[in-house]
Amino acid sequence: MNQSRLFSPLKLRSIEFKNRIAVSPMCMYSAVNGLPNEWHMVHLGSRAVGGAGLVIVEATGVRPDGRISPGCLGLWNQEQLEKFKPIVQFIKNQGTVAGIQLAHAGRKSSTDLAWKGGKPLTPEQGAWTTVGPSALPFSEGWHTPHALTVPEIKQLLQDFVHSADLALQAGFQLIELHMAHGYLMHEFLSPLSNHRTDNYGGNLENRMRFPLEVAAAVRKFWPAELPLFVRISATDWVEDGWDLEQSIVFAKELKNLGVDLIDCSTGGSVPKAKIPVGPGYQVPFAEGVRKGADIATGAVGMITDPYNAEEILQSGKADLILMAREMLRDPYWPLHAAKKLGVDVTWPKQYGRVNT
C-alpha cells in the first residue's frame, strides 16, 4: 500500500496525532478513591508504547457519586491530579496524545465491579444515591435515581469544568465528554430515560439542553488550541428512543459549540435492546453523523483488521479508528498493523531488535 490513511497524521486544532489509531476509553475498575495507580500506568503506558496515536483514559468521574463503581477513576481533587501526572507524561513521551474521558454515570452508577457481576451495590456494600433526569431506574432491581433539580444540574456544569481544569493541570491534551452508553448525559438525551416536563425534558431541544450546556461550559474553559471530543450513542436500538436522525441534529449543535470530533458508539440506554453486534457494526453511524453534520467522527466497535480500518478511513466513513477489546488482546496492534499494510513505522528503540 503506497499511502495508508490509517497511518497518516490527523491534526485537530494545534494537536497532531501521528496516526489515526486511538485507544478507546475502557474501565479497569482498579482504582481506590478514584486514584490512578501502577495498573493504570502499565495499562495505558503499554498502549502508548504500542504505537497508538491517541490514548484516552477510561470514564473518569467528575464527582464521587458520578463513578460507575467504587473502582472507577475520578478527577475531582488534587491528590488524583498528582497521580495522573506521571501517567500522562509517560504517554506523551512515547509521541502519543494523552486524552481523558470525563463522565457522570447517572442512574447507572453505584454498581459493583464488572468481574463481580456489576450489579447495583447494596447499602452494606456502600451504595450511594444515584441521580438522573427522572426517577426511573435503569432496570428492575436497580436503584431508583433522584431526579435532578435545576440547581443540581447547574452544579454539575461546574463539576465538569472543575475536572477539566484538573485535567489541564495534569497535562492532558484532549478531553472527551461521555454522552453515551446510558450514562447521565445520554439519559437526558433519550426520551426513554428523560420524562421531565421542564426546560430539560420533552422535545429534542430541551433534551439536548444539559449535554449542550456541559459541552459549552467545558469548551469555554478548555484552551482554544486543544481539541474536545464527545462520545455519543448514535442509537438506543429501540423504537421511539434516541436515533441517528437526532444524533445528527445534536452533532450539528456540538460542532457550533466548538466540539472537534464525535466518537460514535451506540446502545446502553436500556438493558434488553437487540443490538446486531458484528465487525464494524457501528461504522454506519460514524458515516451518517460525519456526512449529516459535516463534522469529524471516530468509528468504534469490533474493528480488528487493519485492512478494514484502512477502508473505513479511505472511503470517508470516519476520520479516526477507536479500538477497545482488540487493544486489550494486543497492545502493539498499531505496530503489527503497520507491518501488514506495508507502512514503515519506528518501533521503540528499546524494542529495536525486533526488526533485525
Which of 197, 182, 209 shows the shortest CA–CA distance to 270?
182
Contact 337, 21 (CB under 8 A): yes
> What are the C-alpha distances in Å from 109 to residues 70, 73, 85, 249?
9, 13, 26, 28
Assign a CATH topology to domain 10-346.
Answer: TIM Barrel (3.20.20)
Residues with catalytic roles: 183
Q: How far is the C-alpha of 85 from the C-alpha of 80, rounded, in Å?
A: 9
Output the pLDDT for position 355: 67
Query: Rounded mean pLDDT of the chain?
Result: 97
Q: How far is the C-alpha of 19 from the C-alpha of 347, rounded, in Å?
A: 14
Going from N- to C-terminal start, the domains of the chain cover 10-346
What stretches in the chain show pLDDT beneath 50? 1
Q: How far is the C-alpha of 95 from the C-alpha of 115, rounded, in Å?
A: 33
Task: Determine the number of helices (DSSP H) and then strands (DSSP E) in the chain.
Answer: 10, 12
Cell (9 digits) for 258: 466548538
Contact 133, 193 (CB under 8 A): yes
Output the pLDDT for position 1: 47
- Model confidence over 278-326: pLDDT tens digits? 999 999 999 999 999 999 999 999 999 999 999 999 999 999 999 999 9
Which of 75, 66, 67, 62 shows the shortest CA–CA distance to 36?
75
Residues above pLDDT 90, as percent of the chain: 95
DSSP conformation class of 74: B
Instruction: Give the predicted TM-score (pTM) of the model.
Output: 0.97
Unique residue bearing C-alpha cell 443490538: 275
Q: Which residues contact 93 (CB under 8 A, 6 or more apart)?
A: none
Output the pLDDT for position 356: 54
* Beta strand 174-179 pairing with 97-103: parallel
**φ, ψ of residue 55 in degrees (nearest 5):** -120, 125
| SS3 label, residue 21 | strand
Q: How far is the C-alpha of 335 from the C-alpha of 49, rounded, in Å?
A: 10
